[in-house]
Amino acid sequence: MIPLEICLEADTSHLEYNLEQVHRCGVARVELCANMAEEGLTPSAQAITQARSIFKNGELLVMIRPRGGHFCYSATECQTMASSIDMAADLGADGVVLGVLDHTLALQRRASARLINRARKQRLSVTFHRAFDAINNPLESMRTLVDMGVSRVLTSGTPWESRLGAVDGLNLLGKLLAITNGYAELVVGGGVTAENARTIITSLNNNTRCENHGTHTDFSLHCYSSVLSNGMINKDKLSRIFNSCRSTFEENR
Please write the tens of the pLDDT for every residue from 54-68.
999 999 999 999 999
Strand partners, 41: 34
Give the domain range for residue 95: 4-251
| pLDDT score at 42 | 98
Q: How far is CA 120 from the centre of its chain?
A: 17
Ranges of residues in the chain whose predicted pLDDT is under 50: 210-216
* Full-model pTM: 0.94
Say which CATH number the domain at 114 has. 3.20.20.380
Strands 185-189 and 4-9: unpaired
Rg (CA), the chain: 17
Question: How many degrees, rounded to 5, is the angle at CA 16 between CA 226 and CA 245?
Answer: 35
Length of the chain: 253
* Tally of structural domains, the chain: 1
